[in-house]
Chain A
Amino acid sequence: MKENILIIGGGAAGMEAATQLHKMGLNPIIIEKSEALGGHIAQWDRLFPAFHPAKDVVDKMLDQVKGIDVRLNTEVVDIQRDNNGFHAVLSNNEKIDAQAVILATGFDVFKAERKQEYGYGIYNNVMTSVELEKFFRTGKDDRINHPKRIGFVHCVGARDVKVCNTYCSKVCCTTALKQACEIKEVFPDAEVYTFYMDLRMFGPGYEDLYLKTQKDFDVKCVRGRVCEVSEDMDGKLVIKAEDTLFGKPLKMTLDLLVLMCSMEKNKSIDAIQQKLGVANNSDGFMQNKDMYLGMNDTAQDGVFVAGACTAPKSLPDTIGEARSVATQVYNYLNR
């Protein structure tokens, strides 16, 4: 009989790990709590840095997992371990025995209303990066009515002790510039500003995206964090920031403000994680065994991690980890 590998989470990480394990002749089983596979990338329109349709990537991944055991709308409610391996109970009462477990539960998007000064959920024309992706996919959002001036705020819920998230969320700088270009494509006459603290364009082609943003899309990047948002008589937004490179406080009226929300650890897995004996790191994400050589391992033999559940990651990062976790699991089973 093939050996079962329990994969919790059917996003990019879970799907890719399953694909690879399947190819190795093992029997991965994906437990996905939502009604579909794909995770967050299924919510995005186009991916940075090349504006590649996210659907393309998701479709390809879905194609690869055909024939693999998947439980949708399902969660693990209990898990025990003995000498024979892991014994999981699912929310549909099904019981599954497995030789190894991969946690691939990804991230949650920071709740923008926690940064009260930005007025998300209070001022009509403040939206999140996730909602803007949805607009790009569907073309619909009541808040977007031919905006003439649009602002993007970086690091919302990241690099900020006030919300207890001191880490950098890694992908939101690139996403901001990508979205700034995209909104310029939809509204070429609009003035677009991004407010950043540092621009972290860390990957291949990302700096080119930055150059393109400046040169081809005429997006203005202002170094300074927006500190306060309010609404004027006409329902427009008034923002304050410092142009730190110019050394002066700056004030402007905007029709739309987009908050680049950070990634936070997905907490819906906490109870199971605890049962498995996997701790969190100081950023609140899952603690892996070693930053360099043991990024897929945890303190518990047989319990592995992959993707954005251990730290904010891009899709290529995630895919890379998903592939390496498959190797780690394979080696573990053949130890």
Chain B
Amino acid sequence: MDFGFCLSPSSHVKMDSVDLTTFNRLKETNPDINTCIACGSCTATCTAGHFTEMSFRRILLMLQRGKEDEAKKMIQRCMLCGKCTLVCPRGINIRKILLDITR
């Protein structure tokens, strides 16, 4: 029967069922990945981010909130220029992590 409306998908991040395999794999070789303080410098300076959605800060969160596919899609925007790595106050090797994610 068509009611003219349907159940909306929940917008909750269900932390109980998030798959952290990729994030944990990255963590092994890049322990810095945990130390992001969400300052946003990487996004503010990002060559790609000025014209697209690209945000490394968000990519890190996506990987930890069950949105790996979105993260991988976003990474395609990256020009691998390395500016983000240059500015990160926590010294995170962002460019390397970006390369590792899709590896």
* A interface residues, Cβ below 8 angstroms from B: 210-211, 214-215, 218, 220, 223, 240, 243, 245-246, 248-253
Contacts and interface: CB of A to CB of B under 8 A. Distances in A.
A245 B13 contact: no
The 9 closest A-B CB pairs, nearest first, are A252-B15, A250-B13, A214-B34, A214-B35, A246-B61, A251-B12, A245-B38, A248-B13, A249-B12
A245 B62 CA distance: 11
B25 to A, nearest CB: 14
Interface string B15-41: 110000000000100011011011000
Given A210-B37, A215-B34, A249-B11, 19 more contacts: A211-B35, A211-B90, A214-B35, A215-B31, A215-B35, A220-B34, A220-B64, A240-B12, A243-B13, A245-B57, A246-B62, A248-B13, A248-B65, A250-B12, A250-B15, A250-B65, A251-B14, A252-B14, A253-B16
B64 A251 contact: no
B83 interface: no
Contacts of A220: 34, 64
A249 to B, nearest CB: 5
B77 interface: no
Contacts of A214: 34-35
B103 to A, nearest CB: 22
A149 to B, nearest CB: 9
Contacts of B12: 240, 248-251
B58 interface: yes
Interface residues of B, number: 20
Given A215-B35, A218-B34, A249 B13 contact: yes
A70 B41 CA distance: 55
Contacts of B31: 215
Contacts of A240: 12
Interface string B44-83: 0000000000000110011011000000000000000000
Contact of B61 (A243, A249, A252): A243
A180 to B, nearest CB: 13
A246 B13 contact: yes
17 contacts: A210-B37, A214-B35, A215-B31, A215-B34, A240-B12, A243-B65, A245-B38, A245-B61, A246-B61, A246-B62, A248-B12, A248-B13, A249-B12, A250-B12, A250-B15, A251-B15, A252-B16
> Which residue among A210, A220, A240, A248 has the maximum number of chain B CB atoms within 10 Å of its CB?
A248
